[in-house]
Structure 1
Amino acid sequence: MKFLTASATALSVLCLIAPPVAAQESAFSKVAVPATGSGTSVAKYVVKERAKAENLGGEAASRIYGGRAAQDGAWPHQVSLHLVERLDGSTEGLYGSQFCGGSIIARQWVLTAAHCIADDEGRAVDPATIAVKSGATDLGEGDLRAVASVIVHENYDPSTGDADIGLIQLTEPIADSSGPVAAIPVQTNSTQLPDGPAVVIGWGMMEENKFPVDLMETDIDIVSNATCNKGMAEVSQRDLGAFLFVIGTENRIPMDRLEEAYSIILNNWGDALTNNMICAGVPSGKRTSCNGDSGGPLMIKEPDGDWLQVGIVSWGRKPLGSNEPCGHENLYSVYTRVSNYFDWIASHVRG
């Protein structure tokens, strides 16, 4: 999962407080716009966190973040994405190189999040830097597959998380496998998505900054986007107030100017989620997706018992200053709404 914060918005208030002279505007433009670089930033971040964390197996991991270890073969469409430069032929290399998830939607195609396969500026990464592993719930098992190409949606916006969807084309169609492999159907643009139970899976970060070896699954609920927007607005506005108070106190900015700036921002506050996104989780935040789960599927069970992918793990938000990356009350996770991109997916997969 990628974290989007309101820090840039909060910093931008300084230009409202300070007199609008050219020198100050120039200086502000340098500090308010986040620096960008090249490379798979999400991949390197998650791999770095994995290197610092303790990997846990089945029973030890099953109680964390409200999840449980998935049974072997339960989710044959799930794949893990690995940073090739960290693969050294060892089991430890497989554990330490995983950074995102994905789902098999055709014999040669994997659906994932754009931010898993894009650099900081939203450009597709070199496919040679990524490997896909299928056919196992244990990260140390299964089959590594080479990648021929990666496709990032042309409207992907790294700053807002909109259009966070991408495709991976394998060098060869999946034929042989050491474990269960299957494709999952994705929601079309002609079907409605009701609020209600859903399941999310992945090898992402758990409580105490630990990562599982086994694939984890957890039950959550799809709720209205308004629920997500409300929770995020309350936390972000509280963080903004605290930020302004500290900055104002340290720099002797009059309180009435801080209140004025705060009011201006609140009056222009927009929703965090677009119609291309799905809100899901639980009110307590204790059953959710987290770093390393990105790109994996959000699924619902259809009346006939089959599973349907309706979303892709995309992003989340945490309170300013929190040491816990996930699991916060009233802060739900956000997923890409697959149905809005069904035609785009089909145009590539069907050629």
Structure 2
Amino acid sequence: MRVLLAVLFLAVAAQATSWSNLRPMNRVMPTLRAPPRYSGRIIGGSLATTGQFKYQVAVLIDGGGFCGGSLIADNVVLTAGHCVDGARTWDITAGALKYSNTNEAGRVTVRSTDAVLHENYNSFTINNDIAIVRLTSAVSGPNIASVRVPSRSQASDQFVGTVARVSGWGKPSDASSAISDDLKFVDLTVITNTLCADYYGIIINANKICVDTNGGSVSTCNGDSGGPLVITESDGLPTEVGIVSFGSSAGCESGAPAAFARVTEYLDWLETNAGITIRP
């Protein structure tokens, strides 16, 4: 896909003075993994195969912006709050690998005007960066299925040291001006919030989960916003533990951690707003 608009780094540069009051000057200013309007791919990733990420969806925002998301029910998409904030329409595409191939077998696209942004979403601190999009009809197909969210017994699990997998169509490099036509994925290791705060300061709280980017060789980037970070549990099934949220204003290849909304912090919110049942 080639969506010919400019990449958005939402409102961060304009807040430089305020940010400097919030954290030591040697720390790196964050930038949202904004919905780019020129969209690329996950940095250092591998090509996804048919049916590998049945829960992955593409989210076209108001006909221009682009995010990722995941099906957590056959009619509910989980995505980042900043992919919903201020927008009116979301074209959700499920069952896709190559985004430009509208004739892909089993691919389904549904338009929605019904989204719920977390009531305490804060674009300045990038807090509560979570939203859902409700679909007008359920989506189904051989390469479409929902992903589960964490159980209540996992609510206190920090997942530190766990290798998690993130997928999306985001930028392949900082120099890139367009999203990848192909769905990609990469494996990243969850780090402590203390280590993440060494880069980003006090905006790192219990609502966020961070991963190491191996010196910037593997990471999320603009266009991956809202996409799922999943772990594989002992039963071999994936569980979404993070939603792509933000990274460093120094760039996706800077080596700074990538940050996600921590799904375990929103189990009650999801049960109430998405109508899903959380496992014990």
Alignment of 1:83-102 (within 5 A): 83-85=61-63, 97=64, 99-102=66-69
| Higher Rg | 1
Q: Residues 47-70 of structure 1: CA distance to partner in whole angstroms, max 9, x if unpaired?
A: 1x23xxxx6xxxxx7xx7211111
Alignment-derived partner of residue 80 in structure 2: 113
Percent identity of equivalent pairs = 30
TM-score, structure 2 as length reference: 0.81
Change beyond 3 A, Cα 1:162–1:327: same
Matched, 1:8 2:17: yes
Q: Cα offset for 1:2?
A: 6.2
Quote the Cα distance in structure 2 between the aligned partners of 1:288 and 1:341.
Answer: 24
Runs of 4+ in structure 1 off by over 2 angstroms are: 1-6, 8-13
Q: Cα offset for 1:148?
A: 4.2
Alignment-derived partner of residue 147 in structure 2: 184
Change beyond 3 A, Cα 1:284–1:42: closer
Quote the Cα distance in structure 2 between the aligned partners of 1:67 and 1:42.
Answer: 19
Q: Is the 8 A contact 2:191 2:211 kept in 1?
A: yes
Among 140, 157, 164, the alignment partner of 1:198 is 164
Matched, 1:78 2:9: no
Q: Name structure 1 gaps, 5 residues minimum.
A: 14-40, 56-60, 86-96, 120-124, 233-269, 320-324
Alignment-derived partner of residue 265 in structure 1: none
Q: Is the 8 A contact 1:100 1:295 kept in 2?
A: yes
Q: Residues 10-67 of structure 1: CA distance to partner in whole angstroms, max 9, x if unpaired?
A: 6769xxxxxxxxxxxxxxxxxxxxxxxxxxx944xx11x23xxxx6xxxxx7xx7211
Alignment-derived partner of residue 328 in structure 1: 254
Matched, 1:341 2:266: yes
Please identify which structure carries the higher strand content. 2
Query: Alignment length, in residue pairs?
Result: 247
Identify which of structures 1 and 2 has the higher relative contact order when contacts are C-alpha pairs closer than 8 Å and 6+ apart: 2
SS of equivalent residue, structure 2 residue 203: coil
Please identify which structure carries the higher helix content. 1
Q: CA RMSD in A?
A: 2.4
Structure 2 residue identity aligned to 1:131: D
Q: Name structure 2 gaps, 5 residues minimum.
A: 1-7, 23-32
Change beyond 3 A, Cα 1:144–1:224: same
Change beyond 3 A, Cα 1:167–1:202: same
Among 200, 207, 212, the alignment partner of 2:180 is 212
SS of equivalent residue, structure 1 residue 66: coil
